Amino acid sequence: MLVFGLIHDSGWEPPDQPPEPPPSQPRRWRLPWRPLAWVAAFCWLMALVPIVGAAFGGLAGYGVLLLALGLVLWRAERWCAKQYWSGLREYKL
């Protein structure tokens, strides 16, 4: 048995009242202070490398350089840990 349903549409009608635009607010710039502090710490350690290298020797300067790079890698690892990197976790058996 075949059933046909007819839809009766009266057409498009505009809304009664046009929507009011949202009130404009002045734009506020929020600076990301924590990442800026980490970048400042990295730059400070990189500026400290030649000073420490000249005052205490190349090995101490190399240690400060490794400390600065370790700081960057540690922050990058912590940032990546917060991301959703599950891959195909829901499809594993």
Which residue would you say has higher pLDDT here, 33 or 88?
33
Q: What is the pTM of this model?
A: 0.59
**Domain that residue 52 falls in:** 42-80
What is the count of structural domains for the chain?
1
Residue 69 belongs to some domain of the structure:
yes
Residue 2 belongs to some domain of the structure:
no
Residue 34 belongs to some domain of the structure:
no
Confidence of residue 9 (pLDDT cuts 50, 70, 90): low
Query: Which tokens is 87 given?
Result: 């891959």
Residue 20 belongs to some domain of the structure:
no
**Taking all residues of the chain, what is their mean pLDDT, rounded to a whole number?**
83
Residue 73 has pLDDT above 90, yes or no: yes
Q: How many Å apart are CA 80 and CA 84, to the nearest integer? A: 8
Cβ atoms of 42 and 68 closer than 8 Å: yes
Q: How many Å apart are CA 65 and CA 46, to the nearest integer? A: 7
Residue 2 has pLDDT above 80, yes or no: no
Residue 91 has pLDDT above 80, yes or no: no
